[in-house]
Structure 1
Amino acid sequence: MSGPTPARRTVWLAAALLLAVLAAIALWRLFARPAPPPVPVEELRLAVNAEYVGSCPVLAAHGQGYFAREGIHARLQSYSSGKASLEAVLQGQADLGTVSDIPVVLASLKNQSVVIIASIFEAERDHGIVGRLDRGVSTPASLKGKRIGVTQGTSGQFALDAFLNRQKLLPGEVTLRNYAPDQLAAALARGEVDAAAGWEPFLTAMTHAIAGKAAIFYGEDVYAGLFNVAGAGDYVRAHPATMRRVLRALIAGARFCQDEPDAARALFARASASEAARMQAAWHGYQFGVVLDQGLLLALEDEARWAIKNRLGERGDMPNFLDAVYLDGLEAVAPSAVTVIH
């Protein structure tokens, strides 16, 4: 049987050459397409309590490049409390801040527009009271008549009041003294107060400041701490695209903190050896996640009743805390994470 004629071979070769040329043109067109324009980089000033474990999603979003991936150049500003972080936001020194629920309540009662874009952390065994055994503080009931240091206007004060109420102690049966969170350990060591209320890592610092003389009472049955990211209402609502980008970065950061505990704890490089050990032991009880839960609104209302009763705000009526929660961002990014009834 004879092979293809020279004419046929020429046709096949021409066809093969044409296909090769067309394939080359197609590949050239594919790879010669201009790259998509880069995501514009936006600078964001974020006030954060960098030593508090609840800030882990923010620190991870920064350290692991999740903010950068979303086109955000995050500048972290360190503060010793959520109250101080929120004050920075309200004074225009930061765009967003990490804060517990109490400062948001107090801002609302002062008619300051603050909105939470998400809760990022929850822990029960996180607040407590450290007392000096040599001053007669050995049981919760023995706090009666004692001087107690606390950072007023924070979750530490709310947890302390709830704890005293559980012991059937009236506010007038103790003497409160106001200190910044990082000053409580020294005040306790100097004997200026008989006990001090606060949260980690300051509780650990207090116990070490009076080593061998410390009694510690945790408030897990009276207060479950929520840690949030919040901003001024006008700023948040005027930057919806930015909020979505921030939330996507925080979701990745929270996942990192939950799934990579060893690497996440390394973000707190300044922690003392004792605090690092405590953090490792307690890590399994921490809940990292980016949510807006109905429980947040219930907590804000409960805390507002407490604040109104203690005349801590300018108004005596209950605010509508739906105005203090920004739902649009998280509903766009992770709608299943929003359970607020609205």
Structure 2
Amino acid sequence: MTGAKFRQLNNKAILTWLVCLFLVALLIGLIYLWLIRTPAKPESSLEQVIIATNTEYVGTCSITAAREKGYFAKEGIVVLIQSHSSGKAAMEAVLQGQANLGTVADIPVMFAGLDQRPVSVIATIFKTEKDHGIVGRRDRGVLKPSDLKGKRVGVTLSTSSHFTLSAFLNRQKLSVKDVTMINYKPEEFADAIERGEVDAVASWEPFLNTMMTRLGSNGVVFYGKDVYESLYNVVGMRSYIAEQPETIRKVLRALDQGSQYCNDKPDAARVMHEAGKKTDTKEQRAAWAAYRFEIVLDQGLLLALEDQARWAIKNKLTNKTEVPNYLDYVYLDGMEKIKPSAVTIIH
């Protein structure tokens, strides 16, 4: 091979290699541009959970703490709060599919059982004996619980305040027939008693405090200690719980941390929970010592639901005549997975 031909072949090889290198570089550049222009997908997007609750109620402290302290986010969920003034309304939101979970006292769960609604309690998150009671007007002769006889009493029917009123009257050897009950929404109580439409109101905090503030020295309050223990629960539709067992465990783990925060740091938790609210009073600050923030599934819940069902049947608040098996209205798997020691329900 002559020198000229050798140089010609060598030049062609070099040119071929240069073209290949150019094409490889072009390909790498195009891939790079595609990558930087295409938004990266997050490794794990936050799952949305809607909770129907009463943010004014102290029993929601563990929810507030779990959200504000980032416990929900740590579990990979973002919680949207849907505000309601009663557990009865929160339960209805869950039943109507407007919320994934709701916070309710035991009475709405009791009625759900009597009505055979497919809901389940995933945990009790709060207990206290000093958040339900009765506010009365002194100028209407209400100075002690027995003075309720013959009086007009405001109440939200089929709620824990309805049951509390019945228990109060029973302690005074009175019955619901000895008073005239007038049905109101909780947010209507303060105006009703201030205007004198009723002589007394059976309710819960923060509505008791609001009414006492409005009435001033003309008001008197009887708390439900030794009459009714409030059991505040988280409920959901059975279908949602069955389809989202891991989500339920995430919610429970976050609420467990929130409950610990509310118990271990009561002053900070109270300030955080009541931020922006007009319910921070000396009496309420002192009451925090009696509050128990803890996620449990206790046998006492079933006993309370059975007692309340008998009360509802006796007072013809339902057309049912038999007490349901309330074990069917409790979801055990979630708590047994994340905190088995807190499950004392016999099953």
Q: Following TM superposition, by how much is the alpha carbon of 1:40 offset from its aligned partner in structure 2, in angstroms? A: 4.3
Q: Please tell me whether residue 56 in structure 1 is matched to residue 46 in structure 2.
A: no
Mapped contact 2:102–2:234 kept (Cα < 8 A):
yes
Which one-letter code corresponds to 2:286 in the other structure? Answer: A
Give the match for residue 275 of structure 2: 269
SS in 1 for 2:60: helix
What TM-score results when the alignment is normalised by the length of structure 1? 0.87
Report the counterpart of residue 231 of structure 1 in structure 2: 236
Q: Return 233-242 or 54-63, whichever deviates more.
A: 233-242
Residues 118 and 230 in structure 1, CA contact (< 8 A), matched pair in contact too = yes
Measure how far apart 1:256 and its partner are.
0.8
Structure 1 distance, partners of 2:86, 2:345, is 26
Residue by residue, what CA displacement relative to the aligned partner does 1:53-75 show, whole Å, maximum 9, x if unpaired? 00001111111111111111111
Q: What is the number of equivalent residue pairs in this alignment?
A: 305
Q: Percent identity?
A: 56
Q: Which residue of 1 aligns with 2:5?
A: none
Number of the residue aligned with 2:124: 119
Q: Does 2:162 align with 1:157?
A: yes
Q: Which moved more, 1:325-334 or 1:314-323?
A: 314-323
- Whether 1:215 aligns to 2:220 is yes
Q: 1:39·1:70 contact (CA, 8 Å) conserved in 2?
A: no
User: Alignment partner for residue 178 of structure 2, among 173, 178, 184?
Assistant: 173
Determine the C-alpha separation between the residues in 1 that align with 2:323 and 2:301. Answer: 15
- Conservation of the 8 A alpha-carbon contact between 1:86 and 1:103: yes
Give the Cα–Cα distance (whole angstroms) in 1 for the partners of residues 94 and 213 of structure 2.
33
Equivalents in 1 of 2:276, 2:245: separation in Å?
34
Alpha carbons 2:57, 2:205 under 8 Å: kept:
yes
Q: 1:183 aligns to what?
A: 188
TM-score under structure 2 length normalisation: 0.86
Whole-angstrom distance in 2 between the partners of 1:252 and 1:246: 10
Structure 1 Cα separation of the partners of residues 170 and 161 of structure 2: 14
Shift of 1:39: 4.1
Superposition map of 1:323-334 within 5 A: 323-334=328-339
Question: In 2, are the aligned partners of 1:106 and 1:312 still within 8 Å (CA)?
Answer: no
Cα distance in 2 for residues equivalent to 1:136 and 1:54: 32
- Consecutive unaligned residues of structure 1, counting only runs of 5 or more, are 1-36
How far does the alpha carbon of each residue in 1:84-126 deviate from its partner, in whole angstroms, 9 at most, with x for none? 1111000110000110000111111111111100000000111
Q: What are structure 2's unaligned runs of at least 5 residues? A: 1-41
Q: Which residue number in structure 1 is paired with residue 106 of structure 2?
A: 101
Residue type matched to 2:138 in 1? L
Instruction: Name the SS of the counterpart of 2:267 in structure 1.
Output: helix
Specify the structure having the higher radius of gyration (Cα): 2
Per-residue CA deviations over 1:269-298 (Å, capped at 9, x if unaligned) read: 1332x6343221111110000100011111
